[in-house]
Amino acid sequence: MNFRNFKMIGYVIYGRGAFNQLDEIVQPNRKAGAPMVFLVDHFFEGKPLASRVPAKGNDKIIFVDVSLEPKTTYVDQIANQLKDEFGVVSGIIGIGGGSAMDLAKAVSLMMTNPGSSADYQGWDLVKNPGVYKAGIPTLSGTGAEVSRTTVLTGPTRKLGMNSDFTPFDQIVLDPELTANAPANQRFYTGMDCYIHCIESLTGTYLNEFSKSYGEKALQLCREVYVERDGWDATADDKLMMASYAGGMSIAYSQVGVAHAVSYGLSYLLGTKHGIGNCIVFDHLQDYYPEGVKEFKYMVDKNEITIPKNICANLTEEQFDKMIDVSMGMKPLWENALGRDWEQKMNRGTLRKLYERF
Amino acid sequence: MNFRNFKMIGYVIYGRGAFNQLDEIVQPNRKAGAPMVFLVDHFFEGKPLASRVPAKGNDKIIFVDVSLEPKTTYVDQIANQLKDEFGVVSGIIGIGGGSAMDLAKAVSLMMTNPGSSADYQGWDLVKNPGVYKAGIPTLSGTGAEVSRTTVLTGPTRKLGMNSDFTPFDQIVLDPELTANAPANQRFYTGMDCYIHCIESLTGTYLNEFSKSYGEKALQLCREVYVERDGWDATADDKLMMASYAGGMSIAYSQVGVAHAVSYGLSYLLGTKHGIGNCIVFDHLQDYYPEGVKEFKYMVDKNEITIPKNICANLTEEQFDKMIDVSMGMKPLWENALGRDWEQKMNRGTLRKLYERF
């Protein structure tokens, strides 16, 4: 048995208003003449948070389009633009949800690694440390703030740049930043955390490290979405820690059926990760009976709408493509269903599942 | 409000048998001609673990005497000996309980910082990063594996080298290593974790980050010492995670009355930290009524003996010294009793408390 040696993020600061310390935090990482580059979710363009970004000198704020999940072409475009404009940069600071943070990680790595980010989709392919990078979540649930990957859609696959160089040097966890997120979006992203806790805690890969983080994350999700009525500052506090703990729990665990199936949706239809997981999980009562029951309760209680009929008009070819992508997620299936997962899941079963969405 | 930017350890590996990967883990950190130095708790001299240490070439194993808590003189002696013998070393690997790990952190720092370790007792006084350092706990509970300090007894005070350079670059969490610890010692050290969870969760400094770690650590301690009968591998697994989570919870919290009082005992009498906390906590029903009740239950259930009458024959001067040391722990008192703690605790009350031990 060989255990994974898990690379941790460098620094974490947690607190309501911690964002105000960002200038002071990045200061020691500035290099003469080289700007700090802030990749900010376009949601914040013209909003108060944008004016609080501590950009100075030749620093640059780029509002990034995260309507779709990050593509390798978009990563390359931003990195090449920065190289053309500045040569070198001091660092990349991602401010936003999972997509903005994953973009920041990927662009940081592409400032120091040659070629295209598509060349590094996979495990431990990145050769050089990136430039200084920091992640600042404004939505809680993805765990991107602590993960050693970046989820990117490339020319041939949706796969991260998974490496020891990928985790952030710094994360800033300021629950005030999540206060004004749209309720539906906040729910879908929170459920990303809930669903991956259910998947990892019922999976075959679990050990005590991941179990203790996963249990804590699950408990915090329940406190927020099951036990509390309405939304308040405490809900923001707790969900931010749920996201962090859920991300840490991935160290020695793996997600399962919902993620394997929703990857097919997002590859083909561009369905964003959080909502895609919700669409799929809603139909997984055969695999996660208790989790799905609680999920439906949370959907009702929080008055959320889960999109339906998104696969209504797909062609045979499109179904096949989704099934190909999903069946390719071997570790996820193995974690969920055991080593003999191919006895339990086949293309026909998967097809019937996709038809329900 | 200013929040602490918490430096994390570099890498964590968790798993039963993970110790077998130590050779492979330290390999990339070896520098030509410079040895890895393993500081191993003298408890393991002649025991099987000692022969599993992957020492090779000019590597050196030093069995360290941790009968007493680490002194600055001992740190200096080891560091100077290594400088005389090798000039530079590749790294320092601490294998043992909190004392062995704290020694390793301090020796690593003293390989690259001039003067005596006593010069660096305090906050952020360390100037240079130490050499590569790794911590491998063989007892669970202290949280030393993740802390940014080292507890050292110096010529004038008991205080750590608290800095961003202090946390380990690597920790190896292998619950198999704690299987054969003496039951009393294992209990005292486990209670170090339990007690600091009670102190931090009831304290005034708490935030959601520290709360979520503290609650998880407390729950794991209860699973081990309250809910389970007897000791087994699962107890080792859980207590190792309790120690890690308890250590992480310190990021934004602080210990309280038990630690403030037991520092006096250990300064004067050399009482080791775990047992000292137990001796004190046993008499703190006025401050932590529920925690002390549960503590007494765990003591009985696990058939542990808490030493008594250790202050029976002390002089006035000795009592005064302990009270001086304890009253000096201002942040601990403030966390426990609030900003007006001096209204609630005075030398007379403290004297009566010490007389009970």
Quote the ipTM score: 0.95
> Which residues pair with residue A134 across a beta bridge?
A93, A170
In the Cβ-directed half-sphere of B36, how many Cα atoms lie within 13 Å?
22
**How close B217 comes to chain A (CA, Å)?**
9
Mean pLDDT of B286-313: 95
Task: Tell me the pLDDT of chain A (357 aa) as tens digits.
Answer: 689 999 999 999 999 999 999 999 999 999 999 999 999 999 999 999 999 999 999 999 999 999 888 999 999 999 999 999 999 999 999 999 999 999 999 999 999 999 999 999 999 999 999 999 999 999 999 999 999 999 899 888 888 899 999 999 999 999 999 998 999 999 999 999 999 999 999 998 889 999 999 999 999 999 999 999 999 999 999 999 999 999 999 888 889 999 999 999 988 998 999 999 999 999 999 999 999 999 999 999 999 999 999 999 899 999 999 999 999 999 999 999 999 999 999 999 999 999 999
- Using the Cβ of A204 and the Cβ atoms of chain B, whether some distance falls under 8 Å is answered with no
Q: Does the distance separating the beta carbons of A8 and B8 come in below 8 Å?
A: yes
Q: Does the distance separating the beta carbons of B8 and A241 come in below 8 Å?
A: no
- The three-state secondary structure class of B226 is helix
Q: What is the pLDDT of residue B11?
A: 98
How far is A325 from A140, CA to CA, in rounded Å? 27
- Using the Cβ of B3 and the Cβ atoms of chain A, whether some distance falls under 8 Å is answered with yes
Whether the pLDDT of residue B1 is over 80: the answer is: no
Q: Which of A1, A2, A14 sits opposite B207 (nearest CB)?
A: A14
Q: Are strands A60-64 and B6-7 parallel, antiparallel or unpaired?
A: unpaired
Q: Which of B3, B15, B220 sits opposite A15 (nearest CB)?
A: B3
**How close B236 comes to chain A (CA, Å)?**
10
* Span between the terminal Cα atoms of chain B, in Å: 39
> Which residues pair with residue A37 across a beta bridge?
A60, A92
| Chain B residue with Cα closest to A7 | B11
Q: What is the pLDDT of residues B124-150, one digit of tens each?
A: 999 999 999 999 999 999 999 999 999
- Write out chain A residues lying below 8 Å of B216, CB-based: 212, 215-216
- Using the Cβ of A8 and the Cβ atoms of chain B, whether some distance falls under 8 Å is answered with yes
Q: Does the distance separating the beta carbons of B4 and A7 come in below 8 Å?
A: no
The answer to whether A152 and A71 are in contact (CB under 8 A) is: yes
**How close B230 comes to chain A (CA, Å)?**
19
Q: What is the pLDDT of residue B156?
A: 82
Q: What is the pLDDT of residue A69?
A: 86
Q: What is the pLDDT of residue B159?
A: 86
Query: Which three-class secondary structure string do you get for chain A?
Result: CCCCEEECCCEEEECCCHHHHHHHHHHHHCECCECEEEEEEHHHCCCHHHHHCCCCCCCEEEEECCCCCCEHHHHHHHHHHHHHHHCCCCEEEEEECHHHHHHHHHHHHHCCCCCCHHHHCEECCCCCCCCEEEEEECCCCCCCCCCCCCCCECCCCECCEECCCCCCCEEEECHHHHCCCCHHHHHHHHHHHHHHHHHHHCCCCCCHHHHHHHHHHHHHHHHHHHHCCCCCHHHHHHHHHHHHHHHHHHHHCCCCHHHHHHHHHHHHHCCCHHHHHHHHHCCCCCCCHHHHHHHHHHHHHCCCCCCCCCCCCCCHHHHHHHHHHHHCCHHHHHHHHCCCHHHHCCHHHHHHHHHHC
- Write out chain A residues lying below 8 Å of B25, CB-based: 5
- Using the Cβ of A21 and the Cβ atoms of chain B, whether some distance falls under 8 Å is answered with yes
Q: Does the distance separating the beta carbons of A238 and B14 come in below 8 Å?
A: no
Q: Does the distance separating the beta carbons of B14 and A5 come in below 8 Å?
A: no
- Using the Cβ of A14 and the Cβ atoms of chain B, whether some distance falls under 8 Å is answered with yes
Q: What is the pLDDT of residues B223-269, one digit of tens each?
A: 999 999 999 999 999 999 999 999 999 888 889 999 999 999 988 99
- Using the Cβ of A207 and the Cβ atoms of chain B, whether some distance falls under 8 Å is answered with yes
In the Cβ-directed half-sphere of B5, how many Cα atoms lie within 13 Å?
19
**Given pLDDT bands bounded at 50, 70 and 90, which one contains residue B68?**
confident
- Using the Cβ of B310 and the Cβ atoms of chain A, whether some distance falls under 8 Å is answered with no
- Write out chain A residues lying below 8 Å of B245, CB-based: 212
Q: Does the distance separating the beta carbons of B15 and A6 come in below 8 Å?
A: no
- The pTM score is 0.95
Pick the closest to residue B173 from B18, B10, B52 (CA basis).
Answer: B18
Q: What is the pLDDT of residue B251?
A: 84
**Best residue of A14, A22, A210, A219 to probe chain B, by most B CBs closer than 10 Å:** A14
